[in-house]
Amino acid sequence: MEPTVLDRLLEISALFQRDMQSAFAGTVLTETRVHALWVLQLSGPVTQQTLAQALGTTPRSVSALVDALEKHGYVVRTAHPDDRRAVLLTLTDQARSVMTRMQRDHDALTTSLLSAVDEADRPAFERGVSAVLGRLRQLVETESVAYTEVEDAADPGGAS
């Protein structure tokens, strides 16, 4: 059976995951921690609440995340200049150095991947990728597929 476009997209996703795991092996960095660092790199200092919203998580979860990043020297908490109840999260010099390297590697990978597409086809390719991404975002937000009923039907006794 010939792989579908979805099969290829899923394989691309799996390859990105494997590459990321390999790149961060032996470090304290995880996908979630790196996502938080990207947010801080792109936005500058933010509150934990703003970071939680950007990551789509709860303030409690982001607190544990920030604790780990702070412990390992990636972020510092500083007093918010306008709200004495809030703190700002700021990248450390170490984190900025890591993020600069990641940005350079990110740019190189983008260039390498796009080189696989004929230059004349790149604008259409990029429009297509953007359209698929937009549609997937919409589907994830508005539709849900669950297989619990299939599992329940296959195991009527509920045994695990």
Whether 107 maps to a domain, the answer reads yes
**pLDDT at residue number 72:** 97
Give the range of the structural domain holding residue 93, as residue numbers without chain letter: 5-117
Whether 111 maps to a domain, the answer reads yes
**pLDDT at residue number 67:** 96
Sequence length of the chain is 160
C-beta pairs of 141-146 under 8 Å, 24+ apart in sequence: none
Whether 106 maps to a domain, the answer reads yes
Residue 48 near residue 87, CB atoms below 8 Å: yes
Whether 29 maps to a domain, the answer reads yes
Q: Which amino acid is at 112?
A: S
Q: Is 81 helix (H, G, I), strand (E, B) or coil?
A: coil
Domain CATH for 109: 1.10.10.10
Whether 141 maps to a domain, the answer reads no
pLDDT by 10-residue block (mean), the chain, 160 residues: 94 95 93 95 92 92 94 94 88 96 96 97 97 94 85 68
Whether 147 maps to a domain, the answer reads no
**pLDDT at residue number 76:** 96
DSSP-derived letter for residue 119 is: G
Q: What is the count of structural domains for the chain?
A: 1
Whether 110 maps to a domain, the answer reads yes
